[in-house]
Structure 1
Amino acid sequence: MQDKTSMASRQSRGKKLVDPVFSILAKAKEAAAEYGEEKVVNATIGSIQDDDGHLATLDKVTELVRSFAPERIMSYAPIKGIAGFEEAALNFTFGSSRPEGHLAAIATPGGTGAIRQVIYNYADDNSNVLIPDWHWGPYKVIAKEFGRKIDMYSIFTEDFKFNLVEFKKKVTANLKQQDNLVIIFNTPAHNPTGFTISTAEWEGILTILREAAEDKSKNIITLLDIAYIDYAGEFEEVRKFFTLFGGLPENILVTVASSMSKSFLAYGMRCGALIGLSSSKEVVDEFVDVSAYSSRANWSNVNHLPQELLVELYNNESMLADVYSEREGFRKLVEQRGQLFLTEARESGLEICPYYAGFFIAIPCDNPEAVVERLQQEKIFAVPLNKGIRLAVCSIPTAQMPGLAAKIKESLTD
Structure 2
Amino acid sequence: MFDTLKAQPADKILALMQAFKDDPREDKIDLGVGVYKDAHGNTPIMRAVKAAEKRLWEEETTKAYTGLAGDPLFSERMISLVLGDAVSRETVSAVATPGGTGAVRQGFDLVKMANPDAVVHVSDPTWPNHLSILKHMGLPVVPYRYFDSETGGVDFTGMIADIAQSKPGDIVLLHGCCHNPTGANLTQGQWTQVIETINSVGAVPMIDLAYQGFGDGLEADAGPTRQVAKSCPETIIAASCSKNFGIYRERTGILMTVAQDSGTRTVTQGTLAYLNRQNYSFPPDHGARLVLMVLGDEGLRADWEAELEEVRTGMLELRQMLADELRTLSGSDRFAFLGQHRGMFSRLGCSPEKVEKLRAEHGIYMVGDSRMNIAGLNRDTVPRLAKAIIDVGI
Same fold, judged at TM 0.5 (above): yes
Can you give the 5+ residue segments of structure 1 that lack an aligned partner in the other structure? 9-13, 214-219
CA distance in 1, matches of 2:61, 2:77: 17
* 1:284 to 2:268 alignment: no
Letter in 2 for 1:280: D
* Equivalence for 1:35: 25
* Equivalence for 2:133: 142
Q: Offset at 1:313?
A: 1.7
Contact 1:344/1:403 (<8 A) preserved: no
Map 1:160-239; keep pairs closer than 5 Å.
Answer: 162-175=154-167, 179-213=168-202, 220-239=203-222
Q: Deviations over 1:143-182 (max 9, x none)?
A: 011101221111146766644443343334331xxx5211
When structure 1 is superposed on structure 2, of 292-301 and 233-242 the one drifting more is 233-242
* Equivalence for 1:116: 105
Aligned counterpart for 1:20 among listed residues 7, 12, 28: 12
Q: Offset at 1:221?
A: 2.2
Letter in 2 for 1:106: V
Q: Offset at 1:352?
A: 7.5
CA distance in 2, matches of 1:257, 1:73: 28
* Equivalence for 1:7: 4
* 1:325 to 2:314 alignment: no
CA gap of 1:116–1:280, structure 2 versus 1, over 3 A, is same
Letter in 2 for 1:381: Y
Letter in 1 for 2:262: K
Task: Tell me the TM-score normalised to structure 1 length.
Answer: 0.85
CA distance in 2, matches of 1:60, 1:115: 27
CA gap of 1:249–1:238, structure 2 versus 1, over 3 A, is closer
Contact 2:125/2:147 (<8 A) preserved: no
Map 1:43-58; keep pairs closer than 5 Å.
Answer: 43-58=31-46
Letter in 2 for 1:307: A
Letter in 1 for 2:93: A
Aligned counterpart for 2:76 among listed residues 87, 95, 98: 87
Map 1:301-312; keep pairs closer than 5 Å.
Answer: 301-312=282-293
Contact 1:51/1:399 (<8 A) preserved: no
* Equivalence for 1:217: none
* Equivalence for 2:345: 360
* Equivalence for 2:96: 107
RMSD, matched Cα: 2.5
Task: Tell me the TM-score normalised to structure 2 length.
Answer: 0.89
Contact 1:259/1:273 (<8 A) preserved: yes
* Equivalence for 1:272: 253
* 1:63 to 2:46 alignment: no
% identical aligned pairs: 21
Letter in 1 for 2:253: G
Q: Offset at 1:292?
A: 1.6
When structure 1 is superposed on structure 2, of 314-323 and 100-109 the one drifting more is 100-109
Letter in 2 for 1:167: M
CA gap of 1:304–1:394, structure 2 versus 1, over 3 A, is same
Structure 2 counterpart SS, 1:364: coil
* 1:263 to 2:244 alignment: yes
Letter in 2 for 1:169: A
Letter in 1 for 2:53: V
CA distance in 2, matches of 1:363, 1:226: 23
CA distance in 1, matches of 2:141, 2:291: 34
CA distance in 2, matches of 1:186, 1:258: 10
Q: Offset at 1:210?
A: 2.0
Letter in 2 for 1:365: C
Structure 1 counterpart SS, 2:166: helix
